[in-house]
Structure formats: C-alpha cells, structure tokens
C-alpha cells in the first residue's frame, strides 16, 4: 500500500510545479507527517524530491525528473485506454492529438502490456448517442472545443425560443449527453454560469483575449447540479397513486428517476395487500397519463379526480376489447 502511495506522490509532483504538505496529504488521504516521511523515503531511494521551507514553500521535483509508465498493472493500462471517447474526440477535432497521445503512452509501457489498447477495445465500446435517431455533429463544435482548451473568450449568437441573443462567453467545458453536445460557460462580465445546447448557436467568433478560469469550478459537479435543477423545474404537478409491490419496483423505469425517488422516499407503510400510496411529482397530467399507463394494473391513480376518471375510462375500453362475445 505504501509503494502505491509513493508512486502516486511522484506522479502528483510531476503534474504540478509545487505542492504543499497539506495538498499532498489531502490527495493521498494521509497526515502531513506521513507526507514528510514519504518524501524522505523517496529522496533516499534516489527520487529528487526537494522541500522548500517557509509559508510559500512545498515539495517539488528537481532536475526535470520524470518517471516512465513501467509501474502500471495490466488492469490499470487497459483502464487507461478506456478513458477516451473516440467519437467525441473526432467531433471536437481532437482525433489526431488523441491518436498521437495513445501511441506515446503505448511506447512507454512495458512490452508485456503493449497489447492493452487492443484488449480494452475488444471488450468495451461506448455508444453515446440515443437509440432511433442519427446523431448530428454541431458545425460549431470544433471552434468551441478549441476555445475551451485555450481558455479563450468568444462572442456567440444563440437561439432562445423565437429570438436570437448575443452573448460574450467564457467557455469552461463541453458535455456530451445522449448524443447532444452542451457548452458550460460563464457569461463575461456577470460571473454567472450557464448551459447552452451547441446546435442552437448561430455564430461563434473567438476573441483575441483569454480568461482566468475560476479555480474552484468543477465541471462534473456543475453539470450534475444543472441536470437536477432542470429535472425539478419541469415537475410542476402532483399525482397521488397506489402502487402494488411490483408497481413500486417498476416506477423508476416508468417515470423520471428523480420524481420516483422523491415519491418513494416519503412512502408510508404498506396496507395488508402490500400496496403503498405515494405522492408523485409529474410534469403534467398528460405526461403522467402516458407514464403511468405503462404500469397497467400495478398502479391506481387516486387524485386528481380528472386523471382518475381518465384511467377508469381507459380500463373500461380495454376490458371491452378483451370481453368474450355473448353466446
């Protein structure tokens, strides 16, 4: 375990000019005293770790020291080649750069691990787009990708419903969700972060100026927060439903997962037949009708009355279709 920690410490110091003992302790999940002992052990083993004293001090590697990727296990090497998304890289205009990087990593691996790219590719494949529609690459994606990499401001025209607006943006990151590309950007001058569908940009013009990224911006965290806010924003109505045990199991597959989670988190004890009553957030009664129809006889709508009457009418029509003819 200590050997793996020492390797990680060297790799961390290779990736940054200087790291404080507190930063290393946080990354390695150890105490600062352990960091001091590990740095001494690396130094005694011939790794040139140097400690700068004082308030602005920290640990750094001297002499341009680099370690080769000869310590990778097979599972680690294979996982490394799963980290890229070939289709996404191609759409962003980064396919050649990614190919060159894979070649360099392959050359640095031990001979016994050089088949890792092939073994990983034959076992796992990521198909990001959704079913039943052809994905379209937004024409302006490569321009925005370059601006993201360069931390370069852009002026963009963006379609919002029936009008087009112009924004001066600081592009922070790109997200590919079910075949659709999104840009996470900060509006220059306001400090507000927004999410934009890239296929709705009319024009994107890179500016000659760069921006300083907010050091605490976390793209995965920002996207998760935005996705949850959007999901909550469209759940404007409520439906009271009785669910059988099978209905409870199937609910997350029939409705929005966030809505199902909120409904089931507040569920009371089941009745003698195992049924429970939940209050389900929904987008609208129309959407609820479509979604809950998939549960069939495993769900009984109690309210609102108009929706209950609609399900009752559906049940009567279905029963009539399957009723045996008289005689």
Burial (Cβ within 10 Å: 0-12, 13-18, ≥19) of residue 140: buried
Closest by CA position to 196, among listed 217, 170, 228, 220: 170
Max intra-chain CA distance, the chain: 99
Q: Provide mean pLDDT across the span 103-125.
A: 65
Q: What is the pLDDT of residues 190-221, one digit of tens each?
A: 888 999 999 999 999 999 899 999 888 999 89
Can you give the pLDDT at residue 234?
Answer: 87
Can you give the pLDDT at residue 327?
Answer: 43
Q: What is the pLDDT of residues 273-293, one digit of tens each?
A: 999 999 999 999 999 999 999
Contact (CB, 8 A) for 154 and 204: yes
Give me 132's structure tokens. 């039943």
Q: What is the pLDDT of residues 141-175, one digit of tens each?
A: 999 999 998 899 999 999 987 889 999 999 999 98
3-class DSSP assignment, residue 240: strand
What's the Rg (C-alpha) of the chain? 28
- pTM for this predicted structure: 0.60
Burial (Cβ within 10 Å: 0-12, 13-18, ≥19) of residue 240: middle
Sign of CA dihedral 204, 209, 210, 214: negative
Reply yes or no: is the peptide bond before residue 178 cis, omega within 30 of 0: no
Contact (CB, 8 A) for 299 and 247: yes
Contacts 24+ apart (CB under 8 A), 18-22: 18/52, 18/57, 18/58, 18/59, 18/60, 19/58, 19/59, 19/60, 20/57, 20/58, 20/59, 21/58, 21/59
Q: What is the pLDDT of residues 35-85, one digit of tens each?
A: 999 998 888 888 888 888 766 678 988 877 776 655 666 666 666 665 656
3-class DSSP assignment, residue 167: strand
Q: What is the pLDDT of residues 240-286, one digit of tens each?
A: 999 999 999 999 999 988 899 999 997 889 999 999 999 999 999 99
Rounded to whole angstroms, how far apart are CA atoms 182 and 180? 7
């Amino acid at each position: 375990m200590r050997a793996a920690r020492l390797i990680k410490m060297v790799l961390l110091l290779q990736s940054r000019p200087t790291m404080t003992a507190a930063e290393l302790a946080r990354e390695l999940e150890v105490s600062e005293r352990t960091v001091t002992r590990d740095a001494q052990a690396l130094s005694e083993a011939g790794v040139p770790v140097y400690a700068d004293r004082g308030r602005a001090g920290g640990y750094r590697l001297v002499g341009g020291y680099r370690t080769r990727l000869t310590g990778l296990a097979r599972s680690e090497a294979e996982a490394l080649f799963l980290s890229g998304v070939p289709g996404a890289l191609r759409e962003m205009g980064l396919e050649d750069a990614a190919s060159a990087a894979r070649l360099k990593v392959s050359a640095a691996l031990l001979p016994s691990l050089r088949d890792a790219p092939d073994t990983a590719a034959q076992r796992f494949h990521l198909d990001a787009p959704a079913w039943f529609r052809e994905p379209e690459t937004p024409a302006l994606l490569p321009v925005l990708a370059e601006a993201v990499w360069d931390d370069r401001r852009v002026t963009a025209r963006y379609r919002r419903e029936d009008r087009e607006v112009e924004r001066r943006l600081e592009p922070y990151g790109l997200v590919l969700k079910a075949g659709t590309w999104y840009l996470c950007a900060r509006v220059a001058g306001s400090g507000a972060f927004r999410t934009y569908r890239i296929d709705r940009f009319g024009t994107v013009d890179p500016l000659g100026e760069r921006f300083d990224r907010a050091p605490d911006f976390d793209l995965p965290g920002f996207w998760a927060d935005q996705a949850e806010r959007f999901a909550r924003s469209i759940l404007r109505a409520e439906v009271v439903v009785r669910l059988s045990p099978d209905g409870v199991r199937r609910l997350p597959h029939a409705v929005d997962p966030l809505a199902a989670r909120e409904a089931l988190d507040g569920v009371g004890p089941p009745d003698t037949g195992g049924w429970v009553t939940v209050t389900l957030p929904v987008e609208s009664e129309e959407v609820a009708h479509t979604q809950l129809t998939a549960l069939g006889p495993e769900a009984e709508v109690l309210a609102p009355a108009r929706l209950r009457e609609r399900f009752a009418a559906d049940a009567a029509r279905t029963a009539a279709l399957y009723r045996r003819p008289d005689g």
